[in-house]
A and B are shown apart, each in its own frame.
Chain A
Amino acid sequence: MRQLHLLLRALRWRASATIVVLVVATAAVVAANSGPFYYTAVASNVLHSTLAAATATADGLTAIPSPALGGIPTRARVLIPLAQHDRLGRWYAPAITTFDAGVIVPANEKGRSYGTDLVSRTGVCAHLHFVSGSCPTAADQVAITVRSAEVLQAHLGSEVVLVSHDVVTPTRVTVVGLVKVGTGRAPYWMSDNFFDYAGLPKTASGIAQFLNRRAPSVVEQLPLLDAFFTVPATVEKLPLSALVQFRLRVNTVGVNDAQQLIRASRAFAYTANTKYIDPVTTQLDSELTQVTNQDNLMLAVVVVVSLELVLLTLFILFGLVARTVEGRQREISLAKLHGFRRRSVLAVGLLEPLVILLAAIPLGVVLAWFAMRIASALVLNNAPVLFSPLVIYASLAAFGGGLLATFFGAWRILRRPLSDELTGSEAQLSAAARAALEAMVVMLAIGAMVELRVSGVLSGGEPNPLALFAPALIAVAIGVLGVRLVPVICRAGIRWTRDTTRLAAHLAVRQVARRPANLRQILVLSLATGLASFAVVGWAVAAQNRVARADFEIGAARVLQVKVPVSVNLVSAVDRADPSGRYAMAAEESITPSEALLALDTRRLGRVGYWQRSVSGASLPQLVDWLRPKLSPEMVMQGRQARLIVALAAPLDPEPDLQFNLFDSGGDSTLVDFGLIRPGTHTYVASLPSACAGGCRVSEMVPVWQPNPGGPQKVNYSLVLSSLQTRSGPHSAWRSDFGGFSRPGYWQPAFPGASATGSPDGKLTTQFTSSGTELWVPGLTPGPLPLTLPGVTTSAAQESNPVYASAEDFDGTELTLNLSRETRALPRLGEYGFLLDLPLALRAETSIPFATSDQVWLAPHAPARVIQRLRQEGLIIESSQTPAPLLYSFDHGGLAFGYVFFLFAAGAAVLLAACSGVATVLMSARGRGFELAVLRATGVSRRTLLLSLIFEQLLVVIPGIVLGLLAGVLAAALALSSVPQFGSNVGAPPPATTLPWLPIVCTAVVMVVFLATTASVSSLVALRRARYQTLRSETS
């Protein structure tokens, strides 16, 4: 009890030192525990933001009941209790069952037909906004959108006839409700779009043509209406598909639930699959794997950064304990003098710092929790900050480190012989020992850097969180050199400042040269500044890279998903909406399991899209030149009639039917038939489809010859074509649209068995070999239609593809691509895919594109009028995509939070360094009180003394900051390319590592101002001891 009392008196007696050590020890505990607390908060945040960023379909479970074992509706109803059995209800919302029958609303009196979905979906009426009428409650009742009602000219009570495949009897439904057109974005809809109205209807003849060509996907090829919503009884009598969906309630998923959740969902999927043969789809596994990867990377970053911060703190603690133990030197000597045993002497020397350390642990843990709670409120969406076993380990580690720092800090004093106390010699480490120690530290730091380099951590290849050690290692090495160098410079400065007019500077350089112990602060500052500058640079670069990557992955500032009406040409529409070419660009994207194709109007890519120069060795203009070779003009027929002079030398039996395949401006395929070609030279007239009023490009010229049974099965014949002319009406004048017959080499064989030679007199001599046994019909293709499209592919795709590769075009036909240009990644497509020029790719279309996504990319500052004009051109904007959500998910990813933590830690390091500087000044001022008082007594002015103290500190602070900045920048140059910035860099532009100088300069300025201010304030405080009274109360 007496000892405790004495201890408390000692702590109170040295209150300032006690407080400083307590603050630093607490800071060490805070530093050690911030990481674990931060990790728990961020892990929860990353989990929820990743799950929230994914679509409801990706997170949720979607079971597709199979028709086996009792029919789809029965199967669907069996799946629901199965899910409950697997305890999915803890995380998933109640099942949503959807019955969906694809139906056709047959052509009415105006000759138009539509496709639509007749949908029954659990609880749908709660998610529909009724304009009039009510929710369907009985069979054959439907609710439809006001848009569909307008197209069908239907109203409440109207009867609509629906036709379904394989059902002879049409279904007649009654409209009982009219609803607003929804967006389908709410989680309830699970990303299924039931509001996919598809614009202007086609003519009945067009529909018939589609039905003939693409029978398997009839409904999909019809203009679509928004879905008709009804009750199960209406749908169940039709051929239907069904989905049973379970929406994940993201907020119910805890950080520790991941494995349990995966097990439960897998159990459900397994049972559904094996017992009932119902496939279950979800991307939850990959989502949670992604979260785990992010967590692991973040944890690695947090651990490395915490370790650096803790080591810095412990180093400061070591210095302070060494100083405070020096203050207790007499007590230790006294203990030795009184014959205390070594254990008791240790107790006298270490009890105080140990008690402070013990007090710092709960204090530090609580402060760390509060700090992270505030950080969570500011940047982590109030994510819970939880206590975990990591906190205990970190506290123990901090205590252990503090113990070591305390022990080593006190060791010199504890081992000091008592006889030295009698002779009054100072307990200083010998110069040789100091030099050896410092050399060892530098060698260790350099050795560690070399190891990082040799082991590949700093090679710039695979990112590795260990690269974050680089700034600390370099800063330590440079800082130690600074500690050695500054006294040398100051010694040189003594002569220079000997002039009495520079007394303050002279006193300062003398002091720094004379007392190297204070120079330890250079190392602290160098380390703190090194960490801070690296953190700021790393954070700034990572933030830029996140933006660049989000931009690149989306492609442009806004990507509009559009529906293009059949008569509208996307490229032309965009050209007209934005004649300047600066704001909008047409694009088409086709992603299938086997192939990803992106076609852009590459003329505009540089100004509208986000292209990263680093993805390719070639510049963008070079790639565009490659993708858009100079081609002859297309062969276009414009008008309502066409005529052509054809000469056939010998009669053929049967006669060939000369047809030209055309492509209208909306991308719709059609043909013009000049009829049977008779022997001799005749003029043939053919009608052009109405869609060709604006011009149709010729995609192929085919003489169709079908042998008669019993007749010759193969013929060779020659046709000489000339004078192709068109006119817009029966009474208009004929005009020559095209001079391509005279161009040599313009016509190319589309299939074997055809050849053509143009002549200057405008006659095209063709040669055909037709056979009834061949699968193809020999034809000729105009030259501008590239048979081999230039394309750009990715490095990864190039590895598995020859330079000339075959790819499925947007219309499903095979294209030969010349892929001799490659990039590391492509916008929107990532690691695999092909980039084409859209206008060129469209020339190669020979039928209607399908399964493609029509897009308009917009530049960052695209004016609203451009969108307005796009609408005026007939484009229907279905949805809009910007990089913002992706950037949000990047910014809320584990690594981004790791960088934020690094910033916090760097700020804390700078603050600690400043505190350490102030403490050093104040503690040394106590010992220098006599000296300062003497100087004052000998006539040195207070101002000069203050200036000398400030100069003295600046001689430590400025080199510390400069060396730290140097270390930070050097570390950034060496290690930034190896620091992980994303979970994976595959399929993305390589992260930029260009050093942003503005943040570096700002860091330097802030640090100089902050530390110079603290130096000035602490100098002012220290100067208070320069009083005459000190001369009386202290001995030298």
Chain B
Amino acid sequence: MTSARASQMRPGLAIHCDAVVHLYPNPGGDVVALRGVDLDVEAGSAIALLGPSGSGKSTLLALLAGLLRPSSGHVVVGSHDLGRLSNRRLLELRSREISLMLQEPMRNLLGFGTAEQNVGFAQRGVRHTRSDLALRPPMELLEILGMGPIAHQTVATLSGGEQQRVAIAAAAATGPALMLLDEPTSELDSASRDLVVELVLKVHQELGTTLVVVTHDKRVADAMPRTVTIRDGRVGAEGRQGVEYAVVGRDGSVQLPPDVMEWIPPGTLLRVRRHAAGVDLLTPELESDG
């Protein structure tokens, strides 16, 4: 990236989720998707959101993109409390500062357009809102991201990996401060996945953007400095540099990782013994054994 362009870069946006609850209305009874998520992401950092299907990852992503409003709690991106912003302001945010890439590449692309046209299309929202920052021409962006050779190809004719990369380029087309990527490597072979991960990290580094990636892919998660695991609508664990920690909830609850659950099954009686070096978890059996 040239220095001139770098000077126009915006710093990434910090994320602060405070006791975020989200309900989906349902005639048979509302469905709770998120049950009080507390999450902080530093500006310019990158995290991977992990968790089983239905745990609420995509809902959290939608809340971060301003597509949904939390039922309670606050989702603050940068200085914006998204739940309190008008639709118009949310549109402006999405047009320039927040970029969301949906699962399956073709859902993010115009199948009939070329890669260059798709990047250009993604920039149209900015032209309709603000133009205080110059946009990088689509071709230039594609060149930078190493997609020059496929810039004029119709995306429908590209391979899955290429389509995914074009989708990431389109997501990055407006130079967003926050990029939200939903399953960027699903349905890709390992070679394509590596290229995509490489591209994602490159975009993150080049743009200085805050990056949130929802993934099931361990390789993607491993590539991220921080992972957050959502389980049953809550932040269950957080990984730092490859080490996973359980997260103590606001109410003092702790979600144990599945492998630990094998040892401490539901219904197990635990006593927490505090001492100078920390706490011990004791079962009646352990206590009787001394």
Contact = CB atoms under 8 A, between A and B. Distances in A.
Nearest to A342: B91
A421 B109 CA distance: 14
B34 to A, nearest CB: 14
Interface in A429-465: none
A423 B109 CA distance: 18
A421 B68 CA distance: 12
B67 A9 contact: no
A9 B111 CA distance: 10
Contact of B93 (A6, A330, A339, A417): A339
Contacts of A417: 67
Contact of A6 (B96, B108, B110): B110
Interface in B54-102: 58, 61-62, 67-68, 91-96, 100, 102
A331 interface: yes
Nearest to B68: A419
Given A339-B94, A339-B96, A334 B110 contact: yes
Interface in B113-133: 113, 117, 120-122, 124-126, 128-129
Most chain B Cβ neighbours within 10 Å, of A6, A335, A338, A340: A338
B125 A330 contact: no
A532 B95 CA distance: 53
A422 interface: yes
Given A337-B102, A340-B125, A422-B102, A13 B111 contact: yes
B113 A344 contact: no
A943 interface: no
Given A2-B117, A339-B93, A334 B108 contact: yes
A974 interface: no
B107 A330 contact: yes
A12 interface: yes
B121 A338 contact: yes
Given A5-B117, A10-B110, A12-B112, A340 B62 contact: no
A336 to B, nearest CB: 8
B124 to A, nearest CB: 7
B112 A418 contact: no
Contact of A338 (B68, B104, B106, B125): B125
Contact of A337 (B100, B104, B154): B100
A330 B102 CA distance: 11
A341 B122 contact: no
Interface string A401-424: 000000000000000011101110
Contacts of B67: 417-419, 422
Interface string A1-30: 010011001101110000000000000000
B128 A344 contact: yes
A334 B106 CA distance: 10
A339 B93 CA distance: 7
Most chain A Cβ neighbours within 10 Å, of B58, B108, B112: B112
A9 B114 CA distance: 9
B96 to A, nearest CB: 7
Give the interface size bracket for A toward B: 20 to 34
Contacts of A13: 111-112, 156
A419 to B, nearest CB: 5
Contacts of B68: 419
Nearest to B97: A339
B120 A2 contact: yes
A419 B154 CA distance: 27
A188 to B, nearest CB: 72
B117 A6 contact: yes
A338 B94 contact: yes
B102 A421 contact: yes
B110 A339 contact: no
B181 to A, nearest CB: 13
A340 B124 contact: yes
Contacts of A421: 102, 107
Interface string A722-755: 0000000000000000000000000000000000
B268 to A, nearest CB: 36
Given A6-B117, A422-B58, A341 B91 contact: yes
A423 B68 CA distance: 11
Contacts of B109: 334
Given A337-B102, A338-B94, A422-B58, A9 B112 contact: yes
Contacts of B94: 337-339
Interface in A304-343: 330-331, 333-335, 337-341
A341 B67 CA distance: 14
Interface residues of B, number: 34
A416 to B, nearest CB: 12
B5 to A, nearest CB: 21
A341 B125 CA distance: 7
B95 A340 contact: yes
A14 B111 CA distance: 10
Contacts of B174: 338
A339 B113 contact: no
B125 A335 contact: yes
Given A339-B91, A339-B93, A330 B121 contact: no
A994 B121 CA distance: 64
Contacts of A423: 58
A117 B120 CA distance: 96
Nearest to A5: B117
Nearest to B63: A419
Contact of A334 (B93, B96, B121, B154): B121
A491 B129 CA distance: 51
A930 to B, nearest CB: 15
A10 B67 CA distance: 27
Nearest to B93: A339
B155 to A, nearest CB: 11
Nearest to A341: B128
A342 to B, nearest CB: 9
Contacts of B95: 338-340
Contacts of A2: 117, 120
Interface in B159-197: 174
Given A339-B129, A340-B95, A422 B62 contact: yes
Contacts of B156: 13
A404 B55 CA distance: 43
A468 B112 CA distance: 46
A338 B110 contact: no
A417 B62 CA distance: 12
Contacts of B124: 335, 338, 340, 344
Contacts of A422: 58, 61-62, 67, 102
B47 to A, nearest CB: 19
A2 B120 CA distance: 9
A1017 to B, nearest CB: 28
Nearest to B94: A339
A331 B124 CA distance: 13
Interface in A6-57: 6, 9-10, 12-14
Nearest to B101: A337
Interface in B135-170: 154, 156
Interface of A: 2, 5-6, 9-10, 12-14, 330-331, 333-335, 337-341, 344, 417-419, 421-423, 1035
29 contacts: A6-B110, A6-B113, A9-B112, A9-B154, A10-B113, A12-B112, A13-B111, A331-B110, A333-B107, A334-B109, A334-B110, A334-B121, A337-B94, A337-B102, A337-B108, A338-B94, A338-B95, A338-B124, A338-B174, A339-B96, A340-B91, A340-B124, A344-B124, A417-B67, A418-B67, A419-B68, A421-B107, A422-B102, A423-B58
Closest 9 CB pairs of A and B: A339-B95, A13-B112, A339-B94, A339-B125, A338-B125, A339-B91, A9-B112, A340-B125, A419-B67
Given A339-B125, A419-B68, 20 more contacts: A6-B112, A6-B117, A9-B112, A14-B112, A331-B110, A334-B109, A334-B110, A334-B121, A337-B94, A337-B102, A338-B124, A338-B174, A339-B91, A339-B92, A339-B94, A339-B126, A421-B102, A421-B107, A422-B62, A1035-B104
